[in-house]
């Protein structure tokens, strides 16, 4: 059951000219969140109508007090419009309505299955908590992480500290391999023994997700993708967030990604 | 303090209904809202058959509003009766079903099925969806069409029949009159305003259907005016909506002439809005010494505004 | 980079005009804006005689918009010609005069006086003010009335005649067609949406005239849709407006089909908006390699939106 | 010529649960402002549409640097709605678009004329700078200042330091005389020699202004009132701010208070 919290901004750390990490005090949401779930945030005062709607953001980190209790969450935000601008400019002491946790989380694998995590840009967001959960179960994880340039690769030490193997790509070649992140994924899958189990987790731009899902299918690997649709409500009320999927009946159906997702089976989505 | 209001033969425990298309089938919200605490839940629009609706993107935010073209995705009336109605009934929700049709016969048939089902309290006739060609707007934009659909459905059901009017007309009050003449128990208004947003970078519409329906606080002053106009014209109750986001807004519609109100877009912004709306109404009634909320309906005071002034 | 556009026989140096009633008589802004840098200045609405308009309060803010019922306070066409036109001419403003009338004869007479005056570049026929009963809306809400006013004024002037259409109708494009048939050189749209706001504490309307006209960003998506519809229907140029607040918005109207645009409410928020709008347009043209802004008009791409998708 | 400044909030001092004094960095506006003029402030980011319009506020204080140069202005704001709420909550470092100075200022008298200033509530705002100007000319000033209760009487020491004589009233009698401020004004006028010149300046609620203007007329005293109308633009563009006044032709006319005012001759206004 999601709750709505008037969350205090604890801290707001800019990571670059576009990215920031916003820490919010929200113990109850933090306590209930599972990796892959999201929150709906109203970046301005509730009574103000512009921006009007809340915006969906993955739970990035679970924040903990000195005694280990969950005190809040952070979100990794990329500035692309009016609400993310407000999040970028937010100051400690402000409050923001934060509704969550919402949506269906990732299904977490057990050893000996390996986790291959594929992240594009701000698509890194759901994977900080996922990597922690996988680590706790002793799953070996690899993060394929692509960004525009070296300066847009964040939290590498965080993942290293969780013993996550990093495979980096940048479009301009300023760090890791030059090009898109699906290329090294494909190579690794092609050289991997088909009997060694791998679960692929992906989040990022639509085209990257489609390419990842198709690559996974090519090698017969399961793939959980976290999709991003424009969401009006996050609770199943508006039917704005649909993804075309193959149903059990074999037919094509529009599925609400806020309820059935955001984590969906990559091989059931009808990619454009 | 009496919050109840009457819509035809139906008594609502309070004047607050969840608007069609903005509350799923109601069951989606059972976790966050006590459905029995609402005046009523209006279902998503239902045809006879299932529909998948338009491809995404289906919505885009606009200044103080949003544009949608969902395309009436829905599970069809039979699955609604089988799969959703039992839970709504179990949760003691007052259920209004939003009925769509591509033909007059479909409206009649869907209404007949609902009349036979257990747990439907009223029928809202959606003759005003701007987002699909065959979505009833051909009825809702013609006085004769409005009359015909209403009277045809009137003939097959004892449930209250509430046509929902489009604001995309010159004289909405004449449509309220046509509905009244056709035997409607009430009218609801407004549905969304036909509108569009273009992405200037790609020069393409921002939603897949090109045009969509505008809702939210942006349209509220127009909707209030339309309720006020209809109140001068018909005797049947009016269910008002369009951009209601707090108790003040709900009261504004009631003072303009609405017996009950629906809340759509604001429920997206705050799914916990319902208890706040009720609390705000109660606080207002206390402060203004109003024992029955029904007494507030249509009490707008226009007499003094201009006359009182010395003027020029 | 060519920002000029043509409206009938008139060439505007750029597509940006100050909207009627939102820029005084132009002279009020001479201190803050170089009037000659605008595509044009549209005057406040003018009748033959002076008018004092409605008592205050005349405006109220609404979500992302404002409601006004000024009541066409104005100095009358003769005083305008004598007192304001010389300064506008001296400042090299392109002057469009917004003409009002309570009768067809008054429209004709005011237009005739303006045609004889020195420094008027076009006539905008206000047949769409929602705020006064005798303000032309009886012409603007009837196809025959629209045709009649336009053709009557057409007969007495060589100036471009630009009727301004009301959005408070079912099918605005049919009014654009009636205007075109009557001999209009262009149409402007939209005027404001009839709307109201009630103070729930006093139960009185917030403005003295009870109802007023809604303008500002709130209405933009509806206005864009109406421009798009008219563009499919008539050949004459369209001057689009309704909630334009930055260069993106102006470009959106042009892509939808407007040859020029007017800015009203946003000028209240930022009287220095004009140079920002021009700079934003130039930046867009550069980025998109558009040499002539006129080439952008009506270039909306609706073909791919739905079809391109695999859909369901 | 008014200018528009993206003014930094320098400080924001709450005076009570509703009143605050907001200091804005705006040297050019400060340099050009005369007593009685106002600014139009957009309390939220310029790109946000709710609230949409700017709001008018009197220039309260002229702020000066150590060397006496004008660095900015303050405004005295009373929280009554959405924009004044944003002003109340504003934090240093924020920016606000501030357009001014606007409107016709007070006409300042010379000795031996005395200045009798009548302020109701937040109507105090234009009188801080007026009192300074009057002091500089050696004019003896009296401030008739009414408020709901003692806690709503602000800046008394400021006026005392300018040798302004204070006549206070409160509605609840918690400070000064109980009742409305026009009562002591009337008494003083009635006992004042008709040949001793007095200029009355007034700002406050409409009914107080009307009563003050009528009292002044009763005793044949000139009275400059600063009116408050809802203003859309502040520059003469929208005709929203009109006040019905007797014209030179003897007829009644709607006059724009942003251009012809906000300071108007009390005896020419057609009071309701
Ligand atoms: C489940 C989920 C989780 C998300 N997690 C994160 C996250 O952790 N961090 C993060 O930075 N972002 C995340 N997003 C995306 C985020 O919601 C959008 O960036 C945000 O809504 C943009 O709001 P805005 O007001 O800044 O932009 P707007 O001003 O609303 O939009 C700017 C432009 O981007 C387009 N746009 C807006 N939202 C989307 C979208 N969802 N998909 C495609 N185009 C869009 C608009 O049409 C517009 O052209 C997530 C989205 C979903 C659905
Ligand atoms: C020349 C001038 C100088 C002013 N100087 C000051 C000042 O120094 N300090 C100060 O606190 N205020 C001053 N005001 C008043 C101030 O402009 C309003 O309080 C402010 O606009 C309210 O904005 P808001 O968004 O908080 O309220 P809103 O949310 O816009 O309105 C709240 C309620 O108050 C009503 N209202 C809003 N403005 C006015 C108004 N001007 N007159 C009557 N009712 C109104 C609205 O209709 C609504 O019912 C001045 C006004 C003028 C015209
Ligand atoms: C996403 C969405 C879907 C809607 N679907 C329906 C519908 O199925 N049937 C209907 O009659 N109205 C539908 N509407 C219109 C609303 O019921 C309501 O009339 C309108 O949104 C105005 O109210 P609001 O401003 O409170 O949202 C829909 C509105 C939205 C925003
Ligand atoms: C205060 C005000 C006064 C107006 N007066 C007139 C007028 O005299 N004549 C007219 O044709 N339109 C008038 N309008 C309508 C505007 O010209 C314009 O059509 C409308 O405001 C929509 O544009 P906007 O959203 O950019 O303001 C007025 C609008 C406002 C806000
Ligand atoms: S976001 Fe509203 S249904 Fe998914
Ligand atoms: S506030 Fe616009 S004319 Fe005075």
* Alpha-carbon span A198 to A110, nearest angstrom: 10
Q: What is the distance in angstroms between the Cα of D84 and the nearest Cα belonging to chain A?
A: 13
**From the alpha carbon of D79, which atom of ligand 2 is closest?**
26
- In angstroms, what separates the C-alpha of B184 from chain D's closest C-alpha? 38
What is the predicted pLDDT for the residue at C304? 56
In degrees rounded to 5, what are phi and psi of residue B104? -60, -40
Contact A82 D47 (CB under 8 A): yes
Q: Where are the domains of chain A?
A: 3-102, 114-268
Q: How many CA atoms lie within 13 A of A179 on its CB side?
A: 8
Rg of chain D (C-alpha set): 18
Mean pLDDT on A178-193: 94
The burial of D125, by beta-carbon neighbours within 10 Å (0-12 exposed, 13-18 middle, 19 or more buried), is given as buried
The structure's pTM equals 0.96
Beta carbons of B310 and D254 less than 8 Å apart? no
Q: Cis bond leading into D122, ω under 30°?
A: no
Give the pLDDT confidence score for residue B308 in this predicted structure. 43
What does the pLDDT average to over D92-98?
A: 93
Instruction: Quote the CA–CA distance of D153 and D151 in Å, as a whole number.
Output: 6
Would you place residue A93 in the very low, low, confident or very high pLDDT band (cuts 50, 70, 90)? confident
**SS3 assignment, position A249:** coil
User: Does D248 have pLDDT greater than 90?
Assistant: no
pLDDT category, C309, cuts 50, 70, 90? very low
Between CA A216 and CA B266 the distance in angstroms is 41
User: What was the pLDDT predicted at C132?
Assistant: 60
Task: Kindly give the distance from the C-alpha atom of residue B166 to the centroid of ligand 3, in angstroms, as a whole number.
Answer: 11
Interface confidence (ipTM) of the complex:
0.96
Break chain C down into helix, strand, coil percent, rounded to 5: 35, 20, 45
Per-residue pLDDT tens over the stretch C200-212: 999 999 999 999 9
The pLDDT, as a whole number, for residue D1 is 84
Residue closest to A268 by CA, chosen among A115, B75, A254: A254
Q: Is C26 left (phi over 0), alpha (psi -120 to 50) or beta?
A: left
Strand partners, C59: C68
Catalytic residue, from B22, B129, B141, B230: name it: B129
Share of chain C above pLDDT 70, in %: 94
Cα–Cα nearest to B149, from B137, B167, B133: B137
Contact D25/D7 with Cβ under 8 angstroms?
yes
The secondary structure of D52-102 as a DSSP string is -S-EEEE--EEEE-TTS-EEEEEEEEE--SHHHHHHHH--TT-EEEEEEEE
Contact C257, C226 (CB under 8 A): no
Closest CA to C83 of C20, C36, C27, C29: C27
| Cα D24 to Cα A272: distance, rounded to the nearest angstrom | 53
Q: Using only C-alpha atoms, what is the Rg of chain B?
A: 19
The rounded distance, in Å, linking the Cα atoms of C8 and D189 is 66
In this model, does residue C108 exceed pLDDT 70?
A: yes
Kind plus residue range of the DSSP H or E element containing A3: strand A3-14
Query: Cα–chain-centroid distance for residue C218?
Result: 16
Count of alpha carbons within 13 angstroms of residue D198, beta-carbon side: 27
Q: Is the CATH code 3.40.640.10 the one for domain A3-102?
A: no
| A114-268: CATH number | 3.40.50.80
Residue B296 DSSP class: G
**Which residue, among B231, B233, B191, has the nearest Cα to B212 in the 3D structure?**
B191
Write the DSSP symbol of residue C81: I
- Look at C223 and B129; give whichever has higher pLDDT: C223
The response to whether residue D241 sits with its C-beta less than 6 Å from ligand 6 reads yes
Chain C CB contacts of B301 under 8 Å are 202-204
Residues listed for chain A: 272
Ligand 5 pocket, residue A194 CB under 6 Å: no
Mean pLDDT of C6-25: 97
Question: Do the Cβ atoms of A144 and A189 come closer than 8 Å?
Answer: no
Counting as low any pLDDT under 70, the low residues of chain B are: 129-137, 304-312
pLDDT, tens only, C157-182: 999 999 999 999 999 999 999 999 99
Q: Are A4 and A92 in contact (CB under 8 A)?
A: no
Would you say how long chain B is, in residues? Answer: 312
Top residue of D1, D48, D49 to mutate, by most chain C CBs within 10 Å, is D49
Active site residue B129: yes
In chain D, residues with a C-beta closer than 8 Å to the C-beta of A51 are 48
Residue B167 has a pLDDT of 96
Q: Which residue of A has its CA nearest to C63?
A: A49
Closest CA of chain A from C293, distance in Å: 26
- Could you give the number of structural domains in chain B? 1
State phi, psi for D20 to the nearest 5 degrees.
-145, 160
If you average pLDDT over residues D162-180, what whole number do you get?
A: 95
CB D83 less than 6 A from any atom of ligand 2: yes
Query: Would you state the pLDDT for residue C238?
Result: 98
Confidence of residue C312 (pLDDT cuts 50, 70, 90): very low
Task: Give the residue from A119, A106, A91 showing the smallest Cα distance to A208.
Answer: A119
Residue A41 reports pLDDT greater than 60: yes
What would the mean pLDDT of C80-86 be, rounded to a whole number? 97
Mutate to test the pocket of ligand 1, among A55, A124, A126 (most ligand atoms within 8 A of CB): A55
Q: pLDDT, tens digit, for every residue of A130-183?
A: 999 999 999 999 999 999 999 999 999 999 999 999 999 999 999 999 999 999
User: Within 13 Å and on the Cβ side, how many CA atoms surround B107?
Assistant: 31
The DSSP 8-state label assigned to residue A43 in this structure reads: -
Structural domain that includes position B38: 5-309
* Distance, CA of B15 to chain centre: 12
User: Which contiguous run of DSSP H or E holds residue A199?
Assistant: strand A198-203
In this complex, do D272 and B312 lie within 8 Å of one another by their Cβ atoms?
A: no
Which of D225, D228, D238 to probe ligand 2 with, by most ligand atoms within 8 A of CB? D228
Q: Choose among A49, A244, A271: nearest Cβ to C63.
A: A49
In 3-state terms, what secondary structure has residue D215? helix
CB atoms C70 and D239 under 8 Å: yes
Overall average pLDDT of the C188-208 stretch: 97
Strand partners, B240: B189, B261
**Closest of A74, C305, D12 to residue B202, by C-alpha:** C305
């Amino acid at each position: 059951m999601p709750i709505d919290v008037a969350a205090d901004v604890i801290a707001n750390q800019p990571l670059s000219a576009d990215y920031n990490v916003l820490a919010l005090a929200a113990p109850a949401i933090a306590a209930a969140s599972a990796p892959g779930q999201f929150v709906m945030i109203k970046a301005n005062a509730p009574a103000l109508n512009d921006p009007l709607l809340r915006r969906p953001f993955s739970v990035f980190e679970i924040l903990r007090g000195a005694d280990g209790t969950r005190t809040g969450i952070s979100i990794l935000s990329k500035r692309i419009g009016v609400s993310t601008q407000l999040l970028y400019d937010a100051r400690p002491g402000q409050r923001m309505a934060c509704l969550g946790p919402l949506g269906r989380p990732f299904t977490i694998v057990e050893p000996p299955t390996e986790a291959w995590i594929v992240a594009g840009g701000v698509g890194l967001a759901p994977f900080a908590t996922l990597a922690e959960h996988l680590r706790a179960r002793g799953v070996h994880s690899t993060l394929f992480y692509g960004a525009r340039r070296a300066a847009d690769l964040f939290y590498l030490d965080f993942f290293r500290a969780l013993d996550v193997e990093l495979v980096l790509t940048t479009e301009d070649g300023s760090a890791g391999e030059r090009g898109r992140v699906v290329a090294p994924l494909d190579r690794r899958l092609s050289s991997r023994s088909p009997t060694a189990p791998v679960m692929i987790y992906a989040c990022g731009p639509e085209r990257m997700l489609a390419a990842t899902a198709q690559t996974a299918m090519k090698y017969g690997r399961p793939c959980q993708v976290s999709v991003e649709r424009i969401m009006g409500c996050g609770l199943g009320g508006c039917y704005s967030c649909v993804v075309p999927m193959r149903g059990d009946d074999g037919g094509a159906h529009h599925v609400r990604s806020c309820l059935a997702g955001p984590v969906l089976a990559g091989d059931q989505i009808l990619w454009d | 303090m009496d919050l109840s209001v009457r819509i035809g033969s139906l008594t609502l425990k309070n004047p607050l209904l969840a608007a069609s298309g903005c509350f799923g089938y109601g069951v989606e919200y059972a976790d966050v809202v006590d459905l029995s605490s609402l005046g009523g839940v209006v279902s998503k629009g239902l045809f006879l058959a299932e529909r998948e609706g338009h491809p995404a993107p289906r919505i885009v935010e606009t200044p103080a509003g949003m544009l949608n073209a969902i395309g009436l995705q829905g599970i069809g009336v039979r699955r609604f009766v089988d799969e959703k109605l039992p839970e709504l009934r179990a949760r003691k929700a007052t259920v209004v079903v939003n009925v769509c049709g591509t033909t007059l016969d479909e409206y009649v048939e869907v209404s007949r099925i609902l009349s036979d089902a257990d747990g439907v309290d009223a029928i809202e006739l959606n003759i005003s969806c701007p987002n699909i060609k065959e979505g009833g707007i051909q009825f809702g934009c013609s006085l004769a069409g409005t009359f015909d659909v209403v009277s045809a459905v009137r003939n097959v059901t004892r449930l209250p029949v509430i046509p929902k009017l489009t604001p995309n007309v010159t004289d909405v009050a004449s449509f309220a009159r046509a509905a009244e003449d056709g035997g409607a128990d009430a009218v609801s208004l407004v549905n969304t305003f036909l509108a569009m947003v273009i992405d200037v970078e790609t020069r393409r519409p921002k939603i897949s259907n090109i045009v969509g329906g505008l809702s939210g606080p942006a349209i509220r002053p127009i909707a209030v005016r339309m309720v006020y106009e209809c109140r001068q014209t018909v005797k049947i109750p009016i269910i008002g909506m369009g951009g209601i986001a707090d108790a003040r807004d709900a009261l504004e519609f009631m003072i303009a002439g609405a017996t009950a109100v629906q809340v759509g877009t604001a429920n997206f912004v705050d799914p916990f809005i319902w208890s706040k709306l009720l609390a705000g109404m109660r606080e207002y009634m206390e402060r203004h010494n109003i024992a029955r909320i029904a007494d507030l309906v249509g009490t707008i005071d226009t007499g003094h505004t201009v006359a009182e002034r010395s003027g020029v």
